[in-house]
Structure 1
């Protein structure tokens, strides 16, 4: 089995560390929402890796372990009730149009997991926004059932959707621990923060990017909140809801689709944080972080080029 894996997959130590950081979040998704979360994850990984193999086999290249990370991240952004066919179409689209059309691993401009998530969000809004599941509690939680009780958006939804509809905010403790309705891997602030610590400690993700996103978010959120904007929630509530922490830690730090320069990471991250608040407060979308990161991906190469041009100019001036 190990020999077959080595022949099929490109060994990537960085990606393996990301996978390790995601394991507790994956287990929590099963505990909170049921065994369906695990089966959905396996289904998406199978389709995603098969899609990449289909394209890479022509060049006799192995599948990148980054494809597994893409599949895991994408699945964790989905609601527990997402139909298998919708999830499958999304990951196939994300791998093809978010990665392979640019030349495969290391050449993609956009984060493939977010390309997949954005595609299903726009094309299949009903299963992606109208149906959620109540989180399980106690022992064995979701490990003893296929799927927890399903609710529709009219009776109970995610904390961010409830805020947009009624202005009510969920318990901060519930948001921190994760026992709230939401996407599979985005509910527990505690586990995401622990993953962030691990990724930073192992130098597997840029702390500058994470800090920059947080800085941009806090600046814009605090400014608009204290200016009295009714559509912008309390900064702490916004920080712990809507997938903000998950996007900050795992999506914005993608080494391929984010800037390479340190200065660029700060500009890029601050841009994402600011745009997230604007989208959340004044657009139709409750989350915002997904579209903000894709916008950041668009400008990442230009930001790096601008930083390099400025440094070259400064060298010439001081020469």
Structure 2
């Protein structure tokens, strides 16, 4: 309401909410989170303070501690709070793509940039593409957050550029930042620049003239 009603958010509400929660409770979203009792779908339906604490899945991956792609995909290796089950995210993402309910160009640009840079960059030696996509919020951000048509760019080139920008920043954060998984910060960064990118695209399309 404050920003003008439904569909007028300057940034993704999901990313904003996650960022506030992660900043307020960093241990729950990073290191030393409580290991939950696993179940068939969620992996964290029942919590217990008596259970031991473990590292974030991305930290375990970096140490090569034997996480399999199947365990990540099916949720057998529990994710930290705020991280969705990859299999359900993939199924929902395919459904949204089929219904044309999300900005497919932004989604593809985000995933392609993340995967290509992660594979080619010399700073990501030993980069495990499959595990990196399934651990954390990459798929969730790609299908359900950055591709939200209400906060994405309006122009076709703009949507490609926003996805590329978010994918590059997401990889930088995951590679160099202190937080194990800060993909939603990359989404917020791209959301801020989406109107500017649209303005630049429209200006170029009009032969350098500013749009009214």
Q: What TM-score do the two structures reach when normalised by structure 1? A: 0.59
Alignment of 1:11-22 (within 5 A): none
Task: Give the 3-state SS of the residue equivalent to 2:34 in structure 1.
Answer: strand
Q: Deviations over 1:260-285 (max 9, x none)?
A: 11111111001111111110010111
Deviation, 1:146, is 6.4
In the alignment, structure 1 residue 147 sits paired with structure 2 residue 46: yes
Tell me which protein shows more helix as a share of its residues.
1
In the alignment, structure 1 residue 297 sits paired with structure 2 residue 183: no
In structure 2, C-alpha distance between the alignment counterparts of 1:122 and 1:105, rounded to whole Å:
26
Alignment of 1:115-134 (within 5 A): 115-129=16-30, 130-134=32-36
Q: How large is the Cα RMSD of the aligned pairs?
A: 2.6
Alignment of 1:57-206 (within 5 A): 100-129=1-30, 130-137=32-39, 147-149=46-48, 151-153=51-53, 156-164=54-62, 166-168=63-65, 170-183=67-80, 186-206=83-103
C-alpha contact (below 8 Å) 2:39/2:45 kept by paired residues: no
Which runs of no fewer than 5 residues in structure 1 stay unpaired? 1-99
Aligned pair partner of 2:124 in 225, 229, 244: 229
C-alpha contact (below 8 Å) 1:178/1:188 kept by paired residues: yes
Task: Give the 3-state SS of the residue equivalent to 2:67 in structure 1.
Answer: coil
Aligned pair partner of 1:252 in 127, 136, 146: 146
Change (3 A) 1:241 1:309: same
In structure 1, C-alpha distance between the alignment counterparts of 2:39 and 2:24, rounded to whole Å:
33
Q: What TM-score do the two structures reach when normalised by structure 2? A: 0.85
Which runs of no fewer than 5 residues in structure 2 stay unpaired? none
**Number of residue pairs matched?**
207
Q: Higher Cα Rg: structure 1 or 2?
A: 1
Q: Structure with the greater relative contact order (CA < 8 A, sep ≥ 6): 1 or 2?
A: 2
Deviation, 1:187, is 4.4
C-alpha contact (below 8 Å) 2:56/2:180 kept by paired residues: no
In structure 2, C-alpha distance between the alignment counterparts of 1:206 and 1:295, rounded to whole Å:
17
C-alpha contact (below 8 Å) 2:162/2:190 kept by paired residues: yes
